[in-house]
Amino acid sequence: MKNSEILTLQAVMNQVKDQPIKGGLKFKLLKIFQVLEPSVRIIIDALEGCNEEEAKEVLAQTQTIDLPTLTMTELESLELSISQLSVLIELAGGEQDAGNEN
């Protein structure tokens, strides 16, 4: 996952974290936070003191992180904007069909 994608995911997770969440989904989201935190810290540390060109290079680098997979049903239970959904759907393996085809 690119560093820029990790930061975007962290931003979306910060937007959703204060929603009331039921069931096992809250534990998956907590796990995502716990896995993202060290990676985000590494990125932020690497970006300190960088010029624009260096920052682009840092953001383009990739890290291997093992995030829990979310199901479309779990995502449906969250109140999400389209932009938030477009980020979180990657944790559902890019699966976009929630059972509603038109």
Task: Please return the burial class of 3, using the count of CB atoms within 10 Å of its CB with bins 0-12, 13-18 and 19+.
Answer: buried
pLDDT per position in the chain (102 positions), as tens? 999 999 999 999 999 988 889 888 999 999 999 999 999 999 999 999 999 999 999 999 999 999 999 999 999 989 999 999 999 998 887 555 444 444
pLDDT attached to residue 18? 87
pLDDT attached to residue 96? 54
Q: What global pTM score does this model have?
A: 0.84
- Exposure b/e, 26-55, CB count within 10 A at least 16 = b: eebbeebeeebeebbeebeebeeeeeeeeb
pLDDT attached to residue 22? 85
Domain range summary for the chain, segments of one domain joined by +: 3-92
Q: Between vectors from CA 3 to CA 32 and to CA 49, what angle results, nearest 5°?
A: 120
pLDDT attached to residue 98? 47
